[in-house]
Structure 1
Amino acid sequence: MKEDALEKIILETVDIPSLPTVAMKVLQLMQSDYSSINELEKIISHDQAFSTRLLRIANSPYYGRGRSIDTVSTAIVLIGFNTMKNLVVAASLKDIHRKFGLFEQKLWEHSLGVSIAASIIAMETKLVQSEEALVAGLIHDVGKTVLNNSLPERYAVIVERVYEEGLPFIEVENDMLGFNHCNVGGLIARKWKLPKNLEVVMEYHHAETFPSFEDSNFETFCEIIKIADAVCLNMGIGLRRPVNISNIELDRIGISEEKFSELQEKIKKAYTEQKAKLLE
């Protein structure tokens, strides 16, 4: 199916949300060469809940690195403008959840697990920045959240089939909807004008082969998220029970089986420590 036709079907079926206003203003401001820290701080600080959430993520070990970040301006100075864009997107995710039952809780836990796993894998391989991998992991499954919001009854059936029949989400979604959460994720990223590295992760994190990206780092990004996702599936993070993924292609990012076992233990520990803190 041609991309335009697929997008038309998705747009007719799914209610694609807008990025929260504060995030949209921040991303627009950051695209200007003349934006200042003061302007940025003013926009973020006007939304108390948003700025609190932003500072909580900024103080996680993957950003704060042991430093205490207590103001938005400190966060911008220490983290930098580019990483701040990603943080703003991450802090917006909670506003996209219209309801929060058991499935939504599990989906959030899975995204959190993938973000931590991706960050740790990125730190180990040094192939991409760990801060960017963290946000890519958090946002990779937003397509599922949006499908669940738009088509709650149909998506509940999809979720049941995934668990009862042991099939991947993408397979059941394609069968029942004619498209999947990755197609929806790519569309959302383009509507929100997200950085390209987040767009490719949202659209291609389940792809067997990749299109020829303009930046070879994009493929590496997708590989890291795919592996982080597989780690979390194997551990049962955000699932009713673990799913055994045996064909994890570690050689694509240069990690040995032995090193991978070490990383899995590290990921498990970090996830347990961070879950309570970031889900507040």
Structure 2
Amino acid sequence: MPGFLSWISGLFSPNKTATLSAPESRLLNPVALPQDNAETNPALVDQLEEHLFCWLLDSSPTTLRAETGQWEHVLEKLRWRITHQELDELPRQPMALPMLMQALSDETSDRHRLTNIILNDPALTDQLLQIANSPYFRPGDQSIDSVDQAVFVLGLDGIRNVISAAIMRPMMAARNSREALFAQRVWRWGLTCARSAELIAKIQGQDASVYFMAGLLPALSYITLRRELQRICRAEPGMTEPPPSLIHDALSRYQWATSQLLANAWNLPPKYHAHLMAAERPAPKQKHTPLNDGIIVGTREVLRHAHQRNMPEEDVLRIIHLSGPQFTRVRKVILDVLEAGAKTRA
């Protein structure tokens, strides 16, 4: 199952020859951890990924494995659209994104310039204030009532992440009741993975805001792929909605390629492409990236909080590049925001 987490299985087969066939394959050959066990760890990762898909698609493992091979002609149509960059559902670049990216990367920018750019887009302003007051971002109990206050309270690093989430949130909102549960869970999973990647990047002294946005792209790719599949299926005789097994196959095959398409369509700086590629196809002797560990930790914690099957802590520590105390620090922050989010939804 070639998914976000299954890159780890390549850690334990250093002599394995990679097969490359665009766009879903990747090179599974990073450096293994000293304590890796070649027989048990790939199975652990496969299980965690299966638990994730069961939760996102609200289906049993048996349902996800059903009708294997029946949908290859549909998957081939999807692959062709991805390869030729002709996804009808690929979100267009948000209008304010280029100016925001420039302002955030300019060391001479002040908060007033950033505030003015945001205020020129009323829809972005509304989304930003909603996101800034969500449990994932708001520091303490104080309500954030204005964009200027958000920039001041959260700082440039914090507002970068809020902007990333505010830009993507409308694209991931459910369009109808059929995708409501999926969209809700994917958004929660994406935010949790992004926040985990951000926290791990801070621990490692890397650019945390870049990893936060990169961590959101996989979730947006899930929504994009599901909607594209729906378009394809509606044109198929006797089909109206893609079954869970087909959605599962599409997501696990094409999630990374679609994330790259999003980064390309939005003209994100090359470092975003590099981080996505490093996570998808880790090179030999490559340093482990926060994006990989962030997805593992975020997936485990969101499943655990949702009372789903997940992964024991001792197994998590065997496959991530964090010490026990570092993992505890990250997990505490993630657990706090998940708990606060649950109270808000209640």
TM-score bracket relative to the smaller structure: 0.5 to 0.7
Whole-Å separation in 2 of the counterparts to 1:23 and 1:244: 37
Task: Tell me, yes or no, if the aligned pair for 2:218 and 2:255 is still in contact at 8 Å.
Answer: no
> Aligned letter for 1:152?
Q
Q: By how many angstroms is 1:143 displaced?
A: 1.0
Aligned match for 1:93, one of 147, 155, 168: 168
Q: Deviations over 1:176-216 (max 9, x none)?
A: xxx501111011112212355544555555x3x51489x96
Q: Distance in 1 between matches of 2:270 and 2:157?
A: 12
The yes-or-no answer on 1:50 pairing with 2:128 is no
Indicate conservation of the 8 Å contact 1:233/1:244, yes or no. no
Equivalent residue letter for 2:292: E
Q: Read off the aligned partner of 2:250 and give its amino acid letter.
A: E
The answer as to whether partners of 1:122 and 1:129 remain within 8 angstroms in 2 is: yes
RMSD of Structure 2 on Structure 1 (CA): 4.3
Per-residue CA distance 1:81-123 (angstroms, 9 max, x = gap): 4654443221111221361522112211222332344455556
Match of 1:142 among 220, 223, 232: 220
CA contact (8 A) 1:114 1:228 kept: yes
Q: Paired residue for 2:268, among 166, 173, 194?
A: 194
**How many residue pairs end up in the alignment?**
258
Q: Kindly tell me: are residues 77 and 201 of structure 1, through their superposed partners in 2, closer, same or farther at Cα, counting changes over 3 Å?
A: same
* Bigger CA radius of gyration: 2
- Structure 1's consecutive aligned runs of 4 or more residues displaced over 6 angstroms after TM superposition are 5-8
Q: Distance in 1 between matches of 2:156 and 2:221?
A: 26
CA contact (8 A) 2:301 2:331 kept: no
Gaps of 5+ in 2: 1-20, 24-78, 234-240
2-structure distance, mates of 1:174, 1:61: 28
What residue in structure 1 maps to residue 290 of structure 2? 221
Amino acid at match of 1:145: I
**Does the 8 A contact of 1:117 with 1:231 survive in 2?**
no
SS in 1 for 2:91: coil
Q: TM-score, normalised by structure 1?
A: 0.67
Contact persistence 1:22–1:47 (CA under 8 A):
yes
Structure number with higher relative contact order (C-alpha < 8 Å, ≥ 6 residues apart): 2
Aligned pairs for 1:2-151 within 5 A: 9-30=83-104, 37-59=111-133, 63-66=137-140, 69-81=144-156, 84-97=159-172, 99-100=175-176, 101-119=180-198, 121=200, 125-128=203-206, 133-151=211-229
When residues 263 and 38 of structure 1 are mapped into structure 2, their CA distance, relative to the original with a 3 A threshold, is: closer
TM-score normalised according to structure 2 size: 0.57
Cα distance change of structure 1 residues 196 and 250 upon mapping to structure 2, 3 Å threshold: farther
- For structure 1, which segment, 241-250 or 99-108, has the greater mean C-alpha deviation from structure 2 after superposition? 241-250
Q: CA deviation at 1:14?
A: 4.7
CA distance in 2, matches of 1:233, 1:107: 10
- Structure 1 or 2: larger helix share? 1
Alignment-derived partner of residue 322 in structure 2: 254
Structure 1 runs not aligned, ≥5 long: 164-168
Partner of 1:166: none
